[in-house]
Amino acid sequence: MEATNLNLKAKKQNHFDAIVIGAGMSGSWVAKEFCEKGLKTLVLERGRNIEHISGYETAMKEVWEFPYRNTLSPKIVKDNPVVSKCYAFREATQHHFVKDSEHPYVQTKPFDWIRGYQVGGKSLMWARHVQRWAKFDFEANSKDGHGVDWPIRYEDLAPWYSHVEKFAGISGNKDGLDAVPDGEFLPPMPFNDIEKHCISSIESSFPERNVIFARVANLSQPHNGRVCMYRSRCERGCPYGGYFSANSVTIPAAAATGNMTLRPFSVVQEIMYNNETRRASGVRVIDSNTKEVIEYTANVISINAGAINSLLLLMNSKSDRFPNGIGNDSGTLGHYLMFHNYRIRASGQIDDFKDSYFFGRKPTSLYIPRFRNVGDNTQKDFLRGYSFGMWSGRGLGSMDKNKSPIGADLKDQISELGGWSIGMTAMGEVLPRFENKISLSKTDTDEWGMPLVEIDIDYSENEESMCKDMMETGAEMLEAAGAKNVRVSDSKQAPGLDIHEMGGCRMGKDPSTSMLNKWNQMHAVSNVLVTDGACMSSTACQNPSITYMALSARAATHAVEELKKGNL
């Protein structure tokens, strides 16, 4: 993408066919589909631009080139008690994250809000797991009465899962499981010996549980000029394009059409509404550097700022017609905010396979799809279910710190391998609840004049009951694999570190109980789309990004068709 695609001082050229707010995981997909279908598209990003390859400033650095050896300095931890909890926030990646002081928010209840404000958003730093939703995930709300019925089913989204998988490049096996339907996969990366052992031992002990290769957006073979080098430095940005990010895949595709104008440093303050047309007319933008206010107009507007920031924008977009936020006839805007329950972890050691190792730093793991409340495997204590990510590794043997060896002794010690460790992290579904919400501060604003977000969200009894079952099943599976010193813990962490905020502007069939229709259009303002996590009506227990991508491509394609018909 060349600099000529940037339009930092656009004042007169302020009308476009489409505007996309947010250049991350979902927004870049909307931009790609709009641009490839001929729409002149303005992409607004509140953060800086990061160019693929040239913008990855730490991608090729070795650990000894960092002052703190890629750990966090005490000052950084002290100044950032929230973001420093994130697994990916390290010395080599901290420039991709929003520091705690840079965009404050109000924690009515504890919530760790992890953000990335730049072109690419969090697609630069994500964990890259891409399991499709099951058919029963789209039906759960209607069956147990929690949340509104999804206006779509798996069959509606299946071709769009395929669409994005083919372009992004997904490694995985076709496992034939209902809980995680098969997709369009490149070959999986090979299992190491400990993984093969865990698969056979756990599946033989628990026939209803499956241990599979975690489908990931890392390439196992060259794909569209990109290749994974097994460096496992993904969160820094990959100059080889080894994993899907907006920067390396979808933004360049949109730019290649000549139809995209990318404007970074643009904080969108308001979606403007026209009473006469009953449509959104455009957006009001604050230049984050100069604080200049600029207005842009378009025929269709797609909101993809990340769930909480998207809700902030929608709630701040008030008019005589919509005094409580644009499109909010149902009164549900900001409510039914959801997340994933990541509190439970289990770990242990394996004494065998001492003559075995592995090749490279494989950037993936095993995955145990949901097995609770599926078919006959019911659990009366809670609704819905959970999955596990499972990892294994082998490090160096223990150094004798008292000897401080040098020369040959040092070489011998660092050549000795330690034993194998295995671990599991559970990911549980969280029920949609009206009381889990965000609101806007009536007194405090940020440096761009936007109200501070107040986040009021917590676990329910359903999630607490699920945690107990997660601990039991995690321990028994590690023990079945022959692990010693099995430890299971409940971190009791606040919501947020899953980094899977969902809901608040949910899809539904009934305009009186939802914000969006089956095409991700606002019921009340049909030329406004919301396709990021804010649109979700439930969470399932799979990592959600591939579902955002599929919804985004589907919604953008439909919007173009509606524009051509004159309906938008």
Is residue 215 within 8 A of residue 367, CB to CB? The reply is yes
Q: Collapse the DSSP code of 85 into the 3-class scheme (helix H, G, I; strand E, B; otherwise coil) and give the result.
A: helix
Burial class (CB in 10 A: 0-12, 13-18, 19+), 391: middle
Q: What is the C-alpha to C-alpha distance for residues 271 and 298, in angstroms, rounded to an integer?
A: 11
DSSP string, 36-104: HTT--EEEE-SSB---TTTT-TTTT--GGGSTTTTS--HHHHHH-TTGGGSTT-STTTGGGS--TTTS-
Q: Collapse the DSSP code of 161 into the 3-class scheme (helix H, G, I; strand E, B; otherwise coil) and give the result.
A: helix
Q: How far apart are the first and last CA of the chain?
A: 30
| pLDDT at residue number 422 | 95
Which DSSP state fits 71?
Answer: S
| pLDDT at residue number 198 | 95
Is residue 114 within 8 A of residue 455, CB to CB? The reply is no
Q: What is the C-alpha to C-alpha distance for residues 18 and 147, in angstroms, rounded to an integer?
A: 31
Q: What is the C-alpha to C-alpha distance for residues 560 and 30, in angstroms, rounded to an integer?
A: 11
Helices vs. strands in the chain: H and E counts, helices first:
10, 16
Burial class (CB in 10 A: 0-12, 13-18, 19+), 422: buried
| pLDDT at residue number 371 | 97
**How, if at all, do strands 260-263 and 212-213 pair?**
unpaired
Which DSSP state fits 207?
Answer: T
Question: What tokens were used for 564?
Answer: 């051509």
Q: Which amino acid is at 493?
A: Q
Residue with token string 């499709």: 132
Residue with token string 């079952």: 469
Biggest alpha carbon distance in the chain?
82
Say whether pTM exceeds 0.85: yes
Q: E strands of 275-384, at which residues?
A: 279-287, 293-303, 344-350, 366-368
Q: What is the C-alpha to C-alpha distance for residues 475 and 483, in angstroms, rounded to an integer?
A: 9
| pLDDT at residue number 362 | 85
| pLDDT at residue number 3 | 39
DSSP string, 362-419: -S--EEE---TTBTTB--TTSSS-EEEEEEEEEEEPPP-TTT---HHHHHHHHH-EEE
Q: Which amino acid is at 494?
A: A
**182-235 pLDDT, tens per residue?**
999 999 999 999 999 999 999 999 999 999 999 999 999 999 999 999 999 999
SS (HEC) of 222-250: CECCECCCCCCCHHHCCCCCCECCHHHHH
In sequence order, what are the residues at sequence separation of 6 or more whose Cβ sits closer than 8 angstroms to the Cβ of residue 102? 117
In sequence order, what are the residues at sequence separation of 6 or more whose Cβ sits closer than 8 angstroms to the Cβ of residue 367? 129, 131, 180, 211, 212, 213, 214, 215, 387, 388, 389, 390
Residue 77's φ and ψ, nearest 5 degrees, are -65, -45
| pLDDT at residue number 399 | 61
Is residue 387 within 8 A of residue 469, CB to CB? The reply is no
Element (H, E) at 213: strand 212-213
Low-confidence ranges of the chain (pLDDT < 50): 1-4, 10-11
Q: What is the C-alpha to C-alpha distance for residues 343 and 470, in angstroms, rounded to an integer?
A: 9
Q: What is the C-alpha to C-alpha distance for residues 385 and 327, in angstroms, rounded to an integer?
A: 32
Of 125, 139, 65, 135, give the one whose Cα is nearest residue 96: 125
Q: What is the C-alpha to C-alpha distance for residues 242 and 231, in angstroms, rounded to an integer?
A: 9
Q: What is the C-alpha to C-alpha distance for residues 204 and 193, in angstroms, rounded to an integer?
A: 17
Element (H, E) at 553: helix 545-565
Please give the radius of gyration of the chain, using alpha carbons only, rounded to the nearest integer.
Answer: 24
| pLDDT at residue number 10 | 47
Q: What is the C-alpha to C-alpha distance for residues 66 and 162, in angstroms, rounded to an integer?
A: 41
In sequence order, what are the residues at sequence separation of 6 or more whose Cβ sits closer than 8 angstroms to the Cβ of residue 560? 33, 34, 37, 38, 39
Q: E strands of 510-559, at which residues?
A: 528-530
Question: What tokens were used for 75?
Answer: 């000052």
| pLDDT at residue number 207 | 95
Is residue 296 within 8 A of residue 14, CB to CB? The reply is yes
Q: Collapse the DSSP code of 1 into the 3-class scheme (helix H, G, I; strand E, B; otherwise coil) and give the result.
A: coil
Query: 112: left (phi > 0), else alpha (psi -120 to 50), else beta?
Result: beta
Residue 195's φ and ψ, nearest 5 degrees, are -65, -45
Of 521, 21, 112, 516, give the one whose Cα is nearest residue 305: 21
| pLDDT at residue number 1 | 40
**473-508 pLDDT, tens per residue?**
999 999 999 999 999 999 999 999 999 999 999 999
